[in-house]
Chains A and B, each alone.
Chain A
Amino acid sequence: DAGITQSPRHKVTETGTPVTLRCHQTENHRYMYWYRQDPGHGLRLIHYSYGVKDTDKGEVSDGYSVSRSKTEDFLLTLESATSSQTSVYFCAISDGTAYEQYFGPGTRLTVT
């Protein structure tokens, strides 16, 4: 299994509070991704990174920001959480050559 972890695995927070989710990899892969998965919508790309300090927006980036200061960590921040951001968040990594993406175990976030 690829070395990819997410923290926390579960979080309940209140509307309006800031939340940061962490993705950590030990594979030294160049590319990292944040997706959210909701019933009826499938996996939707929030942001992705193609290198340290290099990030780009995905399909549903509003309300989210990311940072990647080193290869192994990719942080997703909800500056002011809303109930519409209740979801399961998956991080993924790829090296761009092996044609595979490896997914982390997911973080279940509930915003009340």
Chain B
Amino acid sequence: GQNIDQPTEMTATEGAIVQINCTYQTSGFNGLFWYQQHAGEAPTFLSYNVLDGLEEKGRFSSFLSRSKGYSYLLLKELQMKDSASYLCAVRLNRDDKIIFGKGTRLHILP
């Protein structure tokens, strides 16, 4: 079976930094996505990692270690609008089958 684990909830303070971890054990691996989803809305793409290392995009960075089956999303200079769920997803194969973890609900405190 496929297993993608992330913490259910996290809380952080406005202006701070938070790291959301994701571990995966899947039958295949062809890349890892991070998505943001605000309540009542559709998920929106944040980042994609296929090779090991850190990808930086503004306030958000994503890291991947394929040998450890591990990724994290780093959010800097937190803003109230960052309160949302963050979804980790794995592309299993070249036919683009993509499955998701259960998501991490991030609460930002003023």
B42-A48 in contact (CB<8A)? no
Q: Please measure, in the bound complex, the distance between the C-alpha atom of A43 and the C-alpha atom of B89, giving whole angstroms.
A: 9
Contact between B96 and A56, CB atoms less than 8 A apart:
no
Whether A70 is near chain B, meaning CB under 8 Å from some CB there, is: no
Closest chain A residue to B100 by CB distance? A43
Known contacts A43-B87, A101-B33, A48 near B97 by CB under 8 Å: yes
Within 8 A of B (CB), among A43-76: 43-45, 48, 50, 56, 58-59
Number of interface residues of A (CB under 8 A): 27
| CA of A84 to CA of B2, assembled, Å | 22
Q: Which residue of chain B has its CB nearest to the CB of A30?
A: B96
Within 8 A of A (CB), among B85-102: 87, 89, 95-102
> Does B53 reach chain A (CB closer than 8 Å)?
no
Per the bound structure, the CA–CA distance linking A96 and B44 in Å amounts to 17
Given A99-B50, A106-B42, A44:B100 Cβ within 8 A: yes
Q: Contacting A56 at CB < 8 Å: which of B43, B45, B97?
A: B97
- Asked whether, in the complex, the Cβ of A102 is within 8 Å of the Cβ of B87, the reply is no
- Alpha-carbon gap, A102 to B31, bound state (A): 16
Extra inter-chain contacts (6) besides given A92-B98, A94-B98, A102-B45, CB under 8 Å: A35-B100, A42-B100, A43-B87, A43-B89, A48-B96, A59-B2
Interchain Cβ contacts under 8 Å between A and B, 18 examples: A30-B96, A42-B100, A42-B101, A42-B102, A42-B103, A43-B43, A43-B103, A45-B98, A45-B100, A48-B97, A48-B98, A96-B96, A99-B33, A99-B48, A99-B50, A100-B45, A101-B45, A103-B44
